């Protein structure tokens, strides 16, 4: 009788551990039969709270992730989070700005008493931060478009990074077809969507902004899974990195077209929209990178900028303003 009770208990414990393992260790035991459990829990939760990628790019109030510098320079309605280096901030910054290290953005956001405006050098890191802050619950956060480079010409880091790097060996107008892939496999210490989301955002903030240079991608495009975030007309009109697929819109359900085992590089016109998308993809568990400076850094002299009436062309339709700063020195 004692042996029977003992073995019954052992079987109960084994069953409990096995079921729990299916809940947490989705790479080894996928109870859904098709997708990793934590990924599915997270993405289902994001859909349920209406926070698919489109509502990070433009929130449910219709507010875009980025805002242009106001002509009068008045940002008194914003809690300005300047994430540049301390020395550069001390030298010159927007009046009322708060200097915050990138790794501290979530803690600093909790102290904000106004909608947050994130400021960096070129707008790209600020857009990455904005995506993460919106996912963390600060849905009215925005980034300053073009960063301090657009605030005043003395901070311009765009002009020296606008390049034409493409050549016939790795640039094409031929369409590449996107395949279908399994979802990313990763585990979580949490079991509900809200906790998993917080855990993932915190991890992505800790890892920092993940980027790729145009030169590196063009030199070895096969080393990356490249997504061109353009319209179909601009995808062929500009041409694109050889092998680049075009996935736009890129909603959660479209992420099955991304390779979870590759370095997923997204590029846009300026590197600012791609930064938002890249942050989101990293939260979903992809190994994602934003191509710095976008098409401005890949093919700045491309004739399609004018022929296609494309905006966000630095030095042409987009230029720095002349707005005031203050110093802490």
pLDDT digits (tens, 9 = 90+) for 230-250: 999 999 999 999 999 999 999
Tell me the mean pLDDT per 10 residues along the chain, length 329.
38 41 37 66 98 97 97 97 98 98 98 98 98 98 98 98 88 93 94 97 98 96 97 96 96 97 98 98 98 97 96 97 94
| 89/139 same-domain check | yes
CATH of the domain at 143: 3.40.250.10
| 145/193 same-domain check | no
Q: Is 28 a domain residue?
A: no
| 94/136 same-domain check | yes
| 148/175 same-domain check | no
| 250/207 same-domain check | yes
Q: Domain span at residue 84?
A: 54-152
Total domains, the chain: 2
Task: State the pTM of this model.
Answer: 0.89
| 178/302 same-domain check | yes
Q: Is 110 a domain residue?
A: yes
| 68/101 same-domain check | yes
Q: Is 319 a domain residue?
A: no
Pick from 152, 180, 203: which residue ends a domain? 152
Q: What per-residue confidence (pLDDT) applies to 80?
A: 98
Residues 6+ apart with CB under 8 A from 231: 248
Contacts 24+ apart (CB under 8 A), 123-126: 123/66, 123/147, 123/149, 123/150, 123/270, 123/271, 123/272, 124/209, 124/211, 124/270, 124/271, 124/272, 124/275, 124/290, 124/292, 124/293, 125/83, 125/209, 125/275, 126/83
């Amino acid at each position: 009788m004692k042996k029977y009770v003992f073995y019954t208990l052992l079987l109960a414990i084994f069953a409990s551990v096995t079921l729990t393992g299916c809940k947490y260790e989705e790479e080894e035991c996928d109870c859904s039969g098709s997708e990793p459990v934590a990924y599915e829990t997270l993405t289902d939760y994001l859909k349920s709270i209406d926070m698919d990628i489109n509502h990070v790019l433009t929130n449910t109030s219709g507010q875009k992730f980025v805002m242009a510098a106001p002509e009068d320079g008045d940002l008194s309605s914003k809690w300005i989070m300047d994430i540049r280096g301390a020395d550069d901030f001390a030298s010159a910054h927007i009046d009322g700005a708060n200097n915050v290290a990138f790794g501290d953005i979530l803690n600093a956001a909790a102290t904000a008493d106004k909608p947050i405006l994130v400021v960096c050098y070129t707008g790209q890191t600020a857009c990455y931060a904005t995506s993460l802050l919106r996912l963390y619950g600060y849905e009215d956060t925005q980034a300053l478009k073009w960063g301090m480079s657009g605030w005043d010409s003395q901070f311009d880091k765009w002009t020296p990074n606008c390049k034409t790097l493409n050549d016939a060996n790795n640039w094409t107008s031929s369409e590449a077809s996107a395949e279908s892939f399994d979802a990313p496999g990763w585990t979580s210490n949490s079991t509900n969507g809200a906790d998993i989301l917080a855990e993932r955002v915190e991890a992505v903030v800790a890892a920092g902004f993940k980027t790729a240079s145009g030169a590196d991608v063009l030199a070895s495009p096969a080393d990356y899974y490249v997504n061109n975030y353009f319209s179909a007309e601009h995808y062929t009109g500009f041409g694109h990195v050889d092998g680049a697929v075009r996935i736009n819109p890129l909603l959660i359900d479209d992420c099955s077209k991304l390779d979870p085992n590759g370095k997923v590089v997204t590029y846009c016109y300026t590197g600012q929209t791609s930064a938002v998308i890249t942050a989101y993809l990293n939260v979903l568990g992809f190994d994602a990178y934003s191509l710095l400076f976008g098409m401005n850094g890949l093919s700045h002299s491309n004739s399609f900028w004018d022929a296609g009436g494309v905006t966000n062309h630095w030095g042409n339709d987009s230029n720095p303003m002349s707005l005031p700063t203050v110093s802490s020195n």
